[in-house]
Protein backbone atom coordinates (compact mmCIF):
# COMPACT_ATOMS: atom_id res chain seq x y z
CA UNK A 1 0.00 0.00 0.00
CA UNK A 2 1.17 3.50 -0.73
CA UNK A 3 3.01 5.44 2.00
CA UNK A 4 1.38 8.74 2.96
CA UNK A 5 3.79 10.78 0.84
CA UNK A 6 2.43 9.06 -2.28
CA UNK A 7 -1.13 10.31 -1.79
CA UNK A 8 -1.03 13.52 -3.79
CA UNK A 9 -2.85 16.66 -2.70
CA UNK A 10 -6.18 16.98 -4.52
CA UNK A 11 -7.37 20.55 -3.92
CA UNK A 12 -10.68 20.89 -5.73
CA UNK A 13 -10.01 24.39 -7.05
CA UNK A 14 -6.89 23.23 -8.90
CA UNK A 15 -8.80 20.88 -11.17
CA UNK A 16 -12.50 21.72 -10.77
CA UNK A 17 -13.18 22.48 -14.48
CA UNK A 18 -11.59 19.14 -15.40
CA UNK A 19 -13.36 17.32 -12.55
CA UNK A 20 -16.71 18.65 -13.80
CA UNK A 21 -15.85 17.62 -17.37
CA UNK A 22 -15.03 14.08 -16.20
CA UNK A 23 -18.20 14.06 -14.09
CA UNK A 24 -20.28 14.87 -17.19
CA UNK A 25 -18.52 12.15 -19.20
CA UNK A 26 -19.22 9.64 -16.42
CA UNK A 27 -22.88 10.66 -16.43
CA UNK A 28 -23.13 10.00 -20.17
CA UNK A 29 -21.45 6.60 -19.85
CA UNK A 30 -23.34 5.70 -16.67
CA UNK A 31 -26.71 6.62 -18.14
CA UNK A 32 -25.91 4.38 -21.09
CA UNK A 33 -25.31 1.47 -18.72
CA UNK A 34 -28.54 2.34 -16.92
CA UNK A 35 -30.44 2.20 -20.22
CA UNK A 36 -28.93 -1.08 -21.47
CA UNK A 37 -28.40 -3.11 -18.27
CA UNK A 38 -31.21 -5.14 -16.64
CA UNK A 39 -32.56 -3.64 -13.44
CA UNK A 40 -30.73 -4.41 -10.17
CA UNK A 41 -32.05 -3.54 -6.74
CA UNK A 42 -30.78 -0.38 -5.02
CA UNK A 43 -29.78 1.06 -8.42
CA UNK A 44 -26.72 -1.18 -8.60
CA UNK A 45 -27.21 -1.50 -12.38
CA UNK A 46 -26.21 2.14 -12.99
CA UNK A 47 -22.80 2.32 -11.31
CA UNK A 48 -19.23 2.30 -12.61
CA UNK A 49 -16.27 0.44 -11.11
CA UNK A 50 -12.61 1.26 -10.65
CA UNK A 51 -10.58 -0.70 -13.21
CA UNK A 52 -6.85 -1.28 -13.79
CA UNK A 53 -6.76 1.73 -16.15
CA UNK A 54 -9.63 3.95 -15.05
CA UNK A 55 -13.36 3.29 -14.68
CA UNK A 56 -15.59 0.71 -16.29
CA UNK A 57 -19.22 -0.28 -16.63
CA UNK A 58 -18.22 -3.92 -16.42
CA UNK A 59 -19.99 -6.32 -18.80
CA UNK A 60 -23.47 -5.09 -19.79
CA UNK A 61 -25.83 -7.94 -20.77
CA UNK A 62 -27.82 -5.87 -23.26
CA UNK A 63 -30.67 -7.45 -25.27
CA UNK A 64 -28.62 -6.72 -28.41
CA UNK A 65 -25.55 -8.53 -27.04
CA UNK A 66 -22.92 -8.03 -24.36
CA UNK A 67 -20.81 -4.86 -24.32
CA UNK A 68 -18.46 -3.05 -21.99
CA UNK A 69 -17.52 0.60 -21.78
CA UNK A 70 -14.16 1.56 -20.29
CA UNK A 71 -12.88 5.00 -19.42
CA UNK A 72 -9.14 4.60 -19.89
CA UNK A 73 -7.77 7.40 -17.73
CA UNK A 74 -4.15 6.59 -18.59
CA UNK A 75 -4.43 6.86 -22.38
CA UNK A 76 -7.48 9.17 -22.10
CA UNK A 77 -10.07 7.54 -24.27
CA UNK A 78 -13.40 5.80 -23.85
CA UNK A 79 -13.35 2.28 -25.29
CA UNK A 80 -16.61 0.55 -26.22
CA UNK A 81 -16.10 -3.20 -26.80
CA UNK A 82 -18.55 -5.75 -28.24
CA UNK A 83 -18.38 -8.99 -30.19
CA UNK A 84 -18.76 -6.87 -33.33
CA UNK A 85 -15.59 -4.96 -32.61
CA UNK A 86 -14.81 -1.83 -30.66
CA UNK A 87 -14.80 1.93 -30.99
CA UNK A 88 -12.73 4.58 -29.22
CA UNK A 89 -13.77 8.11 -28.30
CA UNK A 90 -11.10 10.57 -27.24
CA UNK A 91 -11.06 12.23 -23.83
CA UNK A 92 -9.58 15.62 -24.58
CA UNK A 93 -10.10 19.37 -24.23
CA UNK A 94 -13.15 19.72 -26.47
CA UNK A 95 -16.81 20.53 -25.80
CA UNK A 96 -18.98 17.97 -24.03
CA UNK A 97 -21.34 18.23 -27.00
CA UNK A 98 -18.60 16.88 -29.28
CA UNK A 99 -17.83 14.00 -26.92
CA UNK A 100 -21.53 13.17 -26.61
CA UNK A 101 -22.04 13.12 -30.39
CA UNK A 102 -19.02 10.88 -30.99
CA UNK A 103 -19.93 8.55 -28.13
CA UNK A 104 -23.56 8.06 -29.18
CA UNK A 105 -22.48 7.52 -32.78
CA UNK A 106 -19.99 4.85 -31.70
CA UNK A 107 -22.59 3.05 -29.56
CA UNK A 108 -25.02 3.01 -32.50
CA UNK A 109 -22.38 1.75 -34.95
CA UNK A 110 -21.74 -1.21 -32.65
CA UNK A 111 -25.42 -2.17 -32.66
CA UNK A 112 -26.53 -0.62 -29.37
CA UNK A 113 -28.34 2.62 -30.25
CA UNK A 114 -30.02 4.10 -27.21
CA UNK A 115 -31.49 7.29 -25.86
CA UNK A 116 -30.51 8.64 -22.48
CA UNK A 117 -31.65 11.58 -20.40
CA UNK A 118 -29.47 14.47 -21.52
CA UNK A 119 -29.90 16.98 -18.69
CA UNK A 120 -26.98 16.71 -16.23
CA UNK A 121 -27.94 15.31 -12.86
CA UNK A 122 -27.35 17.69 -9.93
CA UNK A 123 -23.86 18.89 -10.75
CA UNK A 124 -22.22 22.16 -11.74
CA UNK A 125 -23.91 22.17 -15.14
CA UNK A 126 -27.52 22.34 -16.32
CA UNK A 127 -26.71 22.41 -20.05
CA UNK A 128 -27.98 19.34 -21.95
CA UNK A 129 -25.05 17.24 -23.15
CA UNK A 130 -25.81 17.65 -26.90
CA UNK A 131 -25.86 21.45 -26.49
CA UNK A 132 -22.91 21.89 -24.14
CA UNK A 133 -20.23 23.91 -25.90
CA UNK A 134 -19.21 25.58 -22.62
CA UNK A 135 -17.50 22.76 -20.75
CA UNK A 136 -14.35 21.83 -22.66
CA UNK A 137 -11.53 21.66 -20.09
CA UNK A 138 -9.66 18.39 -19.76
CA UNK A 139 -6.32 18.25 -17.94
CA UNK A 140 -5.08 14.72 -18.58
CA UNK A 141 -2.42 14.81 -15.86
CA UNK A 142 -4.94 15.93 -13.24
CA UNK A 143 -7.34 13.14 -14.23
CA UNK A 144 -4.66 10.46 -13.99
CA UNK A 145 -3.45 11.81 -10.64
CA UNK A 146 -6.98 11.75 -9.19
CA UNK A 147 -7.59 8.24 -10.54
CA UNK A 148 -4.39 6.90 -8.96
CA UNK A 149 -5.61 8.14 -5.59
CA UNK A 150 -9.05 6.66 -6.25
CA UNK A 151 -7.68 3.22 -7.14
CA UNK A 152 -5.67 3.05 -3.91
CA UNK A 153 -8.75 4.03 -1.88
CA UNK A 154 -10.85 1.50 -3.81
CA UNK A 155 -8.51 -1.29 -2.65
CA UNK A 156 -8.95 -0.24 0.99
CA UNK A 157 -12.73 -0.12 0.59
CA UNK A 158 -12.68 -3.68 -0.79
CA UNK A 159 -10.67 -4.75 2.27
CA UNK A 160 -13.31 -3.17 4.50
CA UNK A 161 -16.08 -4.88 2.52
CA UNK A 162 -14.39 -8.25 2.99
CA UNK A 163 -14.90 -8.02 6.75
CA UNK A 164 -18.69 -8.28 6.34
CA UNK A 165 -20.74 -11.46 5.85
CA UNK A 166 -24.15 -9.86 5.44
CA UNK A 167 -25.66 -8.28 2.36
CA UNK A 168 -23.28 -5.66 1.04
CA UNK A 169 -22.95 -3.67 -2.16
CA UNK A 170 -19.91 -3.89 -4.41
CA UNK A 171 -17.43 -1.06 -4.07
CA UNK A 172 -18.77 1.06 -6.89
CA UNK A 173 -18.60 4.56 -8.34
CA UNK A 174 -21.84 6.51 -8.57
CA UNK A 175 -21.76 8.79 -11.61
CA UNK A 176 -24.65 10.97 -10.47
CA UNK A 177 -22.87 12.12 -7.30
CA UNK A 178 -19.33 11.31 -8.49
CA UNK A 179 -18.33 9.31 -5.43
CA UNK A 180 -16.96 5.88 -4.55
CA UNK A 181 -19.22 4.01 -2.13
CA UNK A 182 -19.81 0.73 -0.32
CA UNK A 183 -23.00 -0.02 1.62
CA UNK A 184 -23.66 -2.59 4.35
CA UNK A 185 -27.18 -3.82 5.17
CA UNK A 186 -28.55 -5.07 8.48
CA UNK A 187 -31.03 -7.37 6.74
CA UNK A 188 -34.04 -5.53 8.13
CA UNK A 189 -36.55 -3.43 6.20
CA UNK A 190 -36.15 0.28 6.90
CA UNK A 191 -39.18 1.48 8.90
CA UNK A 192 -39.53 4.86 7.21
CA UNK A 193 -37.85 5.01 3.80
CA UNK A 194 -37.48 8.45 2.18
CA UNK A 195 -40.36 9.58 -0.02
CA UNK A 196 -38.41 10.24 -3.24
CA UNK A 197 -38.68 7.20 -5.56
CA UNK A 198 -34.91 6.93 -6.15
CA UNK A 199 -34.14 7.21 -2.43
CA UNK A 200 -36.97 4.85 -1.52
CA UNK A 201 -35.40 2.10 -3.61
CA UNK A 202 -31.86 2.84 -2.40
CA UNK A 203 -32.85 2.93 1.28
CA UNK A 204 -35.61 0.31 1.37
CA UNK A 205 -33.58 -1.57 4.01
CA UNK A 206 -31.42 -0.41 6.90
CA UNK A 207 -27.99 0.66 5.69
CA UNK A 208 -24.64 1.96 6.76
CA UNK A 209 -22.98 3.55 3.75
CA UNK A 210 -19.41 4.79 3.44
CA UNK A 211 -17.66 6.55 0.60
CA UNK A 212 -15.16 9.00 -0.81
CA UNK A 213 -15.71 11.97 -3.07
CA UNK A 214 -13.47 14.60 -4.63
CA UNK A 215 -15.50 17.56 -3.42
CA UNK A 216 -18.12 19.84 -4.92
CA UNK A 217 -19.67 23.23 -4.32
CA UNK A 218 -21.09 22.10 -0.95
CA UNK A 219 -17.75 20.78 0.34
CA UNK A 220 -14.88 22.18 -1.76
CA UNK A 221 -12.33 19.51 -0.81
CA UNK A 222 -12.07 15.71 -1.00
CA UNK A 223 -13.28 13.68 1.96
CA UNK A 224 -14.40 10.29 3.28
CA UNK A 225 -17.86 9.93 4.77
CA UNK A 226 -20.16 7.47 6.50
CA UNK A 227 -23.88 7.74 7.26
CA UNK A 228 -26.87 5.57 8.22
CA UNK A 229 -30.48 5.13 7.25
CA UNK A 230 -32.50 5.23 9.38
CA UNK A 231 -30.42 7.37 11.71
CA UNK A 232 -30.22 6.04 15.28
CA UNK A 233 -30.56 8.51 18.13
CA UNK A 234 -27.38 10.12 19.46
CA UNK A 235 -25.25 8.76 16.63
CA UNK A 236 -23.08 11.86 16.68
CA UNK A 237 -22.21 11.24 20.34
CA UNK A 238 -20.26 8.10 19.49
CA UNK A 239 -16.44 8.45 19.31
CA UNK A 240 -14.50 8.57 16.04
CA UNK A 241 -10.72 8.35 15.66
CA UNK A 242 -9.06 11.74 15.18
CA UNK A 243 -9.04 13.71 12.95
CA UNK A 244 -12.49 12.41 11.92
CA UNK A 245 -15.62 13.99 13.37
CA UNK A 246 -19.38 14.02 13.07
CA UNK A 247 -20.91 16.88 11.11
CA UNK A 248 -24.48 17.91 10.43
CA UNK A 249 -25.66 17.43 6.83
CA UNK A 250 -29.21 18.67 6.37
CA UNK A 251 -30.11 17.75 9.93
CA UNK A 252 -28.50 14.30 9.71
CA UNK A 253 -25.20 13.33 11.37
CA UNK A 254 -22.49 12.15 9.02
CA UNK A 255 -19.01 10.90 9.91
CA UNK A 256 -16.43 12.89 8.00
CA UNK A 257 -12.67 12.46 7.47
CA UNK A 258 -11.03 15.09 5.28
CA UNK A 259 -8.63 13.70 2.69
CA UNK A 260 -5.96 16.34 3.25
CA UNK A 261 -5.73 15.53 6.97
CA UNK A 262 -5.84 11.78 6.27
CA UNK A 263 -3.20 11.54 3.54
CA UNK A 264 -0.38 12.81 5.77
CA UNK A 265 -1.08 10.41 8.65
CA UNK A 266 1.70 7.88 9.41
CA UNK A 267 -0.42 4.92 8.26
CA UNK A 268 -3.25 6.02 5.94
CA UNK A 269 -4.53 2.49 5.33
CA UNK A 270 -4.96 1.75 9.03
CA UNK A 271 -6.43 5.20 9.65
CA UNK A 272 -9.06 4.75 6.94
CA UNK A 273 -10.03 1.25 8.04
CA UNK A 274 -10.26 2.44 11.65
CA UNK A 275 -12.49 5.33 10.58
CA UNK A 276 -14.79 3.10 8.54
CA UNK A 277 -15.02 0.51 11.31
CA UNK A 278 -15.69 3.07 14.05
CA UNK A 279 -18.47 4.76 12.08
CA UNK A 280 -20.03 1.40 11.14
CA UNK A 281 -19.77 0.12 14.73
CA UNK A 282 -21.54 3.23 16.00
CA UNK A 283 -24.42 2.68 13.57
CA UNK A 284 -24.63 -1.09 14.12
CA UNK A 285 -24.51 -0.91 17.92
CA UNK A 286 -27.04 1.89 18.28
CA UNK A 287 -29.36 0.29 15.72
CA UNK A 288 -28.94 -3.14 17.36
CA UNK A 289 -27.76 -4.96 14.25
CA UNK A 290 -26.98 -8.65 14.81
CA UNK A 291 -23.26 -8.12 14.43
CA UNK A 292 -22.29 -11.67 15.40
CA UNK A 293 -24.28 -13.02 12.44
CA UNK A 294 -23.11 -10.58 9.78
CA UNK A 295 -19.44 -9.88 10.53
CA UNK A 296 -16.44 -11.95 9.52
CA UNK A 297 -14.26 -13.44 12.24
CA UNK A 298 -11.15 -12.72 10.16
DSSP character string of the chain: ---GGGS----HHHHHHHHHHHHHHHHHHHHHHHHHSPP-GGGTTS-BEEETTEEE---EEETTEEEEEEEETTTTEEEEEETTEEEEEE-SSS-HHHHHHHHHHHHHHTT-------S--SSS--S-GGG--S-----HHHHHHHHHHHHHHHHHHHHHHTTB-S-B---EEETTTTEEEEEEEEEEE-SS--SSHHHHHHTSEEEEEEEEE---SSS-S-EEEEEEESPPTTGGGS---TT-EEEEETTEEEEEEEHHHHHTSS-HHHHHHHHHHHHHHHHHHHTT--HHHHB---
Please give the pLDDT value at position 1: 47
Q: Write down the pLDDT at residue 195.
A: 66
Which segments in the chain show pLDDT lower than 70? 1-6, 193-198, 298
Q: Tens digit of pLDDT for each residue in 194-244?
A: 666 667 777 789 999 999 999 988 889 999 999 999 999 999 999 999 999
Amino acid sequence: MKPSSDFDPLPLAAWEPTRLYLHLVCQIVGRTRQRLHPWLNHWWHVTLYVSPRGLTTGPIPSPAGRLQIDLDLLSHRVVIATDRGQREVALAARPIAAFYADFMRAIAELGHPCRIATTPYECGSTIPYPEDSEHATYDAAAVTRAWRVLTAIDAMFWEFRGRFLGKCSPVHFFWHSFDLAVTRFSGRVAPEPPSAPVAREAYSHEVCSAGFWFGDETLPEPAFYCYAWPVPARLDARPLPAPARWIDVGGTPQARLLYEAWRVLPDPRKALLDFLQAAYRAVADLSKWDRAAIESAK
